[in-house]
Amino acid sequence: MTFGERLHRAMRDRGPLCVGIDPHAALLDAWRLADDVNGLETFARTVVEALAADVAVLKPQAAFFERHGSRGIAVLERVIAEARDAGALVLVDAKRGDIGSTMQAYADAFLRPSSPLCSDAVTASPYLGFGALRPLIDTALEHGNGVFVLARTSNPEGDEVQGARTADGRSVAGAVLDHARAVNAGATTWGSIGCVVGATVTLPAGEDLQIGGPLLAPGVGAQGATVADLAGVFGAALPSVLPNVSRDILRHGPDRTTLVSAARAMNSQVTDLLIGEDAGERGNDHDT
């Protein structure tokens, strides 16, 4: 199965929520863990053990593992393997972007099955040119994995670049969405190339979000967007949205029961909005 098909099925079966694993120093402190590699491992393991059998996607943010050096990266390797073993899809948030020949090395690291960091999908920046991502996309498609390409990011600074107009009048973000749509063309259900569009943003009128693939929507919770805001940002593209919530769920730890309850409550809210009230049970079908 392709990544697009696997993600579509996971979101249908488990609800359309992606939970971020972002072990900020402040969260380690709030969980009464040391800001070191042991604290990192306990934090990440707790999230995986609580949620990997429950939610569709877990998104470890690589930076919070890298800040602990090689031992932190080893923790990321174990997190990826354990979360996948428990049935979650793993999207490594690495936001890599470089010239094509270097992108092949990132592809080998994050999307080639022989790599210890291999996951189901990875985030990528297209701001060296979408075409420079080709080796990453080709490697993803070859192995049934996926890529989420930044289009319109959730931070306010993003608009300076992503809202700029190209020579043919499209926004830069719109041009990225167009590229993703072209790669996904012809896929059944969804293609395997998603885009990132923040839940916090105001898009130009007429921006076409239908890319034939998933739309990762960070920004709900700590960055100020609400689940209800997703309707205004995504409109007709709502059924393709995979909302990501990190801090607003993680702050409920370290108690696993509370963490699970917070994730399920959020999953139920996004299920009601994105899939419809009549499918509300889907987000809760792990309650037993």
* Catalytic residue annotation: 95
SS3 content of the chain, % helix, strand, coil (to 5): 50, 15, 35
Q: How far is the CB of 91 from ligand OMP (least distance, A)?
A: 8
By the rule CB under 6 A, 22 interacts with ligand OMP? yes
Q: Residue from 119, 139, 153, 240 that binds ligand OMP (CB under 6 A)?
A: 153
By the rule CB under 6 A, 54 interacts with ligand OMP? no
The two structure tokens encoding residue 7: 């993600």
Contact 40, 64 (CB under 8 A): yes
Q: How far is the CB of 182 from ligand OMP (least distance, A)?
A: 21
Residues 56-75 that bind ligand OMP (CB under 6 A): 61
Binding mask 182-221 for ligand OMP (x = CB under 6 A): --------------x-x-------------------x--x
> Could you tell me where the beta strands, DSSP code E, fall in 107-170?
121-124, 146-152
Q: Where are the alpha helices (DSSP H) in the chain?
A: 3-14, 25-30, 37-51, 62-66, 69-85, 100-110, 134-142, 159-162, 172-184, 229-234, 247-250, 256-274
By the rule CB under 6 A, 20 interacts with ligand OMP? yes
By the rule CB under 6 A, 245 interacts with ligand OMP? yes
Residue carrying the six token digits 């080796």: 135
Q: Residues in the site for ligand OMP, rule: CB under 6 A? A: 20, 22, 61, 93, 123, 153-154, 196, 198, 218, 221-223, 244-248
